[in-house]
Amino acid sequence: MKANETTSQETGLQFFGKLSAAVSHDLKNVLSIINEKAGLLEDFCHMARQGMALDMERIDAVTAQVKAQVERADQIIRCFNRFAHSTDHPIASVDMGETVTTLVRLAQRLLAGMEVSVAVQPIDPPVVITTRPLMVQELIWAAMQWMAAQPGEKKAMSLAVERCGDGARVLIGALGHPPEGGLDAAFCAATDAVREALQAEMHLDSASGMLRLQLAALEPPP
């Protein structure tokens, strides 16, 4: 293997690292807001000591905003905890709907950076398959990035999951501007190892512009 080639373990780590960095940035933003709200309450106290009347409605509003940010941080950490636990077992039962929803939530800042909005279609009943939890997220993320990089003014994506025999199908659509041309060789090569490990196939439907990831059900561990 050449020095500049990346192993699938390394790409998995890079993916985990990228999402972790995005989460840390999100949490920093939440802390910054809480910091400013606390500072504002301090300012009100200082002004009250100078003789200014306290606006109790305003104080109520600011404390409610702090609580909302705490709730926001809690949601982020819950999603991140779920994501972190996807490394517990190499092969496990995966609720695909929950996985996709968690992935999109965690990657929101990265998606915003690419100026992409993603709508996850409701998945009912749940689609649960035996697969590699971290790798399946890595593949879905790679596919979303590829779709987002396709030329087009408005970048809005849809994400859906369907049962397909014992396996599952993930459908990624670009709303408004489907990608032109086929899947490029570089993208296919970059996802080769992950697709092989997942026994996954990838197809781009040129008519609908939908990128389809077909995931086979893997053998559960003994």
Partner 1 sequence: MDEKVLLVDDEEEFLDTLAERMRNRGMSVTTSMSAVEAIHKSEDGDFDVIILDLLMPGMDGIQALKALKEKKPDLQVILLTGHATVQKGIEAMKLGAMDLLEKPADINELTEKIKKAKAQKMILVEKKAEKKIRDILKRKSW
State which residue, 109 or 163, has the beta carbon closest to partner 1. Answer: 109
CA–CA dist 61, 55 (Å, integer): 10
Cα distances from 222 to residues 92, 109, 132, 165, in angstroms, run: 11, 39, 15, 22
The tokens for 161 are 């999951």
In the complex, least distance from residue 104 CB atom to partner 1, rounded to whole angstroms: 16
In the complex, least distance from residue 69 CB atom to partner 1, rounded to whole angstroms: 8
In the complex, least distance from residue 68 CB atom to partner 1, rounded to whole angstroms: 9
Site of tokens 């109520």: 60
175: region left, alpha or beta (phi > 0 left; psi from -120 to 50 alpha): beta
First-to-final CA distance of the chain: 32
State which residue, 34 or 149, has the beta carbon closest to partner 1. Answer: 34
In the complex, least distance from residue 16 CB atom to partner 1, rounded to whole angstroms: 17
State which residue, 13 or 40, has the beta carbon closest to partner 1. Answer: 40
State which residue, 21 or 188, has the beta carbon closest to partner 1. Answer: 21
CA–CA dist 86, 92 (Å, integer): 9
In the complex, least distance from residue 123 CB atom to partner 1, rounded to whole angstroms: 27
For partner 1, the binding residues (CB under 8 A) are 21, 24-25, 28-29, 31-37, 39-40, 43, 47, 65, 69, 109, 112-113, 115
Go through 31-65 and write b for each residue having 16 or more CB atoms within 10 A of its CB, e for each that does not: eebbeebeeeeeebeeeeeeeeeeeeeeeeebeee
Cα distances from 30 to residues 75, 106, 143, in angstroms, run: 11, 14, 29
State which residue, 8 or 69, has the beta carbon closest to partner 1. Answer: 69
